Structure 1
Amino acid sequence: MLKSFRSATTLVATSIGAIGVVLVLYAWRLPPFDSSVQSTDNAYVRGQVTLVSPQLAGYVGEVAVQDFQHVKAGQILVKLDDRIFAQKLEQAEATLAGQQAALANSEQKRRSDEARITSSQAQVDSAQAALKAAEASWKRIEPLLERGVTTQSQADQARAALDQSTASLHQAQAALEVSRQDLASTLVSRQSLEAAVQGAQAAVRLAEIDLQNTRIVAPEDGKLGEVGARVGQYVAAGTQLLALVPERIWVIANFKETQLAGMEAGQPVTFTVDALQHAQLNGHIERFSPAAGLEFSVIRTDNATGNFTKVAQRVPVRIAIDPDQALAEHLSPGMSVVVSVDTKARGI
């Protein structure tokens, strides 16, 4: 009887030990339970959450949306009080009008200077003609004076007329040079006025941009998170008013480095979603992280500071969600998923 009891006890212990070994082999995917399918529950749905903030400081005048609302690109989300910015735009436009008037006046002065140059040139031509006449008269009278045919008084008058014509020519030439310098000065000042007009135009554009920025719009289609803006609230530039979650989503699966052998971009992927009662969806590997997640941590570990225990690192793998899946519309960033990849499958 005792022998039979001991035999039964030994059989039970042996069976329990065998079952334990089998469980260990299965848990560690060791032969004969090794598989080409690699899975991880360290995986989540990801998306680009955009924090919407104003570029200006001011008071919130209107909040046009509500929590979790679906919005379209360009739809108004929040309006700031725009009275000050509207007045700044009018002020900039008035300054621009003044600068444009000054530039137009400079253009009129340029034309006046050009006309004055033409008039001065005519005076020079007239003085040159008078000088030629005076020189001709003197050349006729001078020989007659030497022969005593004409009087000294007539010779003096001819000489005086020659000297006066010479002086008149010099005066006309000087007036012409003054007119040319006036035109040059006008042209130089015109460049300054043109620069002032360009600066005023830039100021108008900046004022227009500021006025437009009082209307905070959705940068793209998506759903809103909680709306933190309140009417009458004073906000500074960069204050977080709300968050926008675009419709583009994907999955990030953090596989152990020992699981990556055989994985390649394009391989089909299946994943189950905890929030959808473990419903299965399909996707494919899009790309691999260039480094393990530890390399991107703020505080990196130093394995040379003491005793070392080897820990398998995890490498993020980006997985694209295949289109035309009805359940994919219910996915949201942050949801937990379980990802499985058959490393023997060929990439797309």
Structure 2
Amino acid sequence: MNNIQINKKTMRCIIAAVLLIAGVLGGYAYYSGQTVSTDDAAIDGNTVVLSPKVQGYIKHIYVQDNQQVHAGEIVMEVDPADYETKLTTAQTALAAAQAAFDAAKHQHQETAVTAPAKVTAAEEQLKGAQAAWKKALLDKQRMTVLAQSGACAQKELDQAVAAESQTRAAAAQYEAELAAAQAAPEAIAASQSTVEQLQANVAQAQAAVTQAQRDLQHTKIVAPADGRITKRSVEAGSYVEAGTPLCTLVSQDLWVTANFKENQIKHIHPGCRVQIIVDAYPAWKLTGVVDSFQAGTGSYFSLFPAENATGNFVKITQRIPVKIKLDSLPPSAALLLGPGMSVVPTVYIKDGFL
């Protein structure tokens, strides 16, 4: 009787264990069918190599490796002395060019106003001079006739001859002045050309000042975004050329690049929720959302993509990089995470599981 009771208890335990195992396996199968995971994933982010736009000696370094900086903060400074001198020289040249332009412009404006008046005045003077000469010529002719007949003295004839000669010379002078005054349009055009040339000189000098100001401004290397400084490669006193890498800025804009197998992405789509475990900090439970898929496999964009047009071919399951945006990170986590850190993302391909 006791043996029968023991056997019944044993059977109940066995049945319960079988049901429990079946339930666990069924739950695991059901749950695993709702998620896709990979360990081929890492933190990714924007990195910017900071370099100067001008050459010179590094005068100041305001940051250390791994230091947090903010957008617009000065990281390093190239010695600005030479560029300050260039700016002063350019400003002096601009002032000289501006003064020459202002003087030429004033002269041009004065010429444009006075030239027509000079023509009118020269015409009136010429008319008066020609009238005086005609009268003197008549007087000379009359005196010559009278002198031949003995009706006037030789002295009076000489005076008439002298008067005619003087008035004729004056008329010729005024005629020349009128011709010069009538050439005013050419003079105005030449003056305008000079003004335009000097104006171009001013523009060129202004451009030189602007460039000198930019060069002076570029002696300060500033952080383009919030982030951390890494791989600083220079010290104060080092000579650098424009474009020399000085350090790298790792921005706080981080995401995950997960390389899923091509047979895993069938049910993954943008908007799927993701749970992320960081290898370095396994206690953290980060979350995110699938953002996009790379338009091609990882191997296709590698330095040496695979060439399958050969006699020997082995099919290899390819991996598709998937970008996963992280949800907002606490400041402490943002400071500890960086590109390249290994993570394990789990994508929930059906809603309601995360």
TM-score, length of structure 2 as denominator length: 0.77
Take 2:331 and 2:219, find their aligned partners in 1: how far apart are those partners? 39
Q: Using the TM superposition, give the Cα deviation of residue 124 of structure 1 relative to its aligned residue in structure 2, in angstroms.
A: 3.1
1:195 to 195, 200, 207: 200
Q: Mean alpha-carbon deviation: is it higher for 324-333 or for 259-268?
A: 324-333
Take 1:61 and 1:33, find their aligned partners in 2: how far apart are those partners? 61
Structure 1 residues 290 and 32, CA, compared in 2 at 3 Å: closer, same or farther?
A: same
**What is the CA deviation profile of residues 23-75 of structure 1, one whole-angstrom value per residue up to 9, with x for unaligned ones?**
xxx9xxxx899723111111111111111111112111111111211111121
Take 1:106 and 1:225, find their aligned partners in 2: how far apart are those partners? 57
Ranges in structure 2 where 5+ consecutive residues have no aligned partner: 1-24, 143-156
Q: Secondary structure at the match of 1:280?
A: strand
Matched, 1:228 2:230: no
Structure 1 residues 171 and 279, CA, compared in 2 at 3 Å: closer, same or farther?
A: same
Q: Mean alpha-carbon deviation: is it higher for 170-179 or for 101-110?
A: 170-179
Summarize the alignment of residues 155-174 of structure 1 with structure 2, pairs less than 5 Å apart. 167=172, 170-174=175-179
Task: Identify the residue that residue 301 of structure 1 maps to in structure 2.
Answer: 306
Which residue type is aligned with residue 104 of structure 2?
S
CA contact (8 A) 2:34 2:348 kept: yes
Matched, 1:341 2:339: no
Q: Secondary structure at the match of 1:295?
A: coil
Which residue type is aligned with residue 197 of structure 2?
S
2:279 to 266, 274, 283: 274
2:327 to 299, 322, 325: 322
Structure 1 residues 32 and 324, CA, compared in 2 at 3 Å: closer, same or farther?
A: closer
Task: Identify the residue that residue 117 of structure 1 maps to in structure 2.
Answer: 115
Task: Identify the residue that residue 331 of structure 1 maps to in structure 2.
Answer: 337
Q: Secondary structure at the match of 1:193?
A: helix
CA contact (8 A) 2:97 2:201 kept: yes
Q: Mean alpha-carbon deviation: is it higher for 195-204 or for 96-105?
A: 96-105
Task: Identify the residue that residue 210 of structure 2 maps to in structure 1.
Answer: 205
CA contact (8 A) 1:134 1:158 kept: no
2:262 to 244, 257, 260: 257
Task: Identify the residue that residue 58 of structure 1 maps to in structure 2.
Answer: 56
Task: Identify the residue that residue 11 of structure 1 maps to in structure 2.
Answer: none
Task: Identify the residue that residue 88 of structure 1 maps to in structure 2.
Answer: 86
Take 2:84 and 2:56, find their aligned partners in 1: how far apart are those partners? 13
Take 1:118 and 1:313, find their aligned partners in 2: how far apart are those partners? 88
Which residue type is aligned with residue 213 of structure 2?
E
Take 2:45 and 2:194, find their aligned partners in 1: how far apart are those partners? 57
Task: Identify the residue that residue 36 of structure 2 maps to in structure 1.
Answer: 38
Q: Using the TM superposition, give the Cα deviation of residue 317 of structure 1 relative to its aligned residue in structure 2, in angstroms.
A: 0.7
Which residue type is aligned with residue 49 of structure 1?
T
Pairwise CA RMSD: 3.5
Take 2:38 and 2:95, find their aligned partners in 1: how far apart are those partners? 68
CA contact (8 A) 1:123 1:172 kept: no
Task: Flag as ranges the 4+ runs of structure 1 deviating above 6 A.
Answer: 31-34, 134-138, 156-166
CA contact (8 A) 1:47 1:246 kept: yes
Task: Identify the residue that residue 4 of structure 1 maps to in structure 2.
Answer: none
Q: Secondary structure at the match of 1:89?
A: helix
**What is the CA deviation profile of residues 293-313 of structure 1, one whole-angstrom value per residue up to 9, with x for unaligned ones?**
122112122111221111111
Task: Identify the residue that residue 152 of structure 2 maps to in structure 1.
Answer: none
Take 2:114 and 2:31, find their aligned partners in 1: how far apart are those partners? 104
Task: Identify the residue that residue 97 of structure 1 maps to in structure 2.
Answer: 95
Take 1:164 and 1:226, find their aligned partners in 2: how far apart are those partners? 91
Q: Using the TM superposition, give the Cα deviation of residue 318 of structure 1 relative to its aligned residue in structure 2, in angstroms.
A: 0.6
Take 1:45 and 1:70, find their aligned partners in 2: how far apart are those partners? 19
Q: Using the TM superposition, give the Cα deviation of residue 115 of structure 1 relative to its aligned residue in structure 2, in angstroms.
A: 5.0
Take 1:178 and 1:108, find their aligned partners in 2: how far apart are those partners? 20
Take 1:36 and 1:219, find their aligned partners in 2: how far apart are those partners? 42
Take 2:126 and 2:269, find their aligned partners in 1: how far apart are those partners? 95
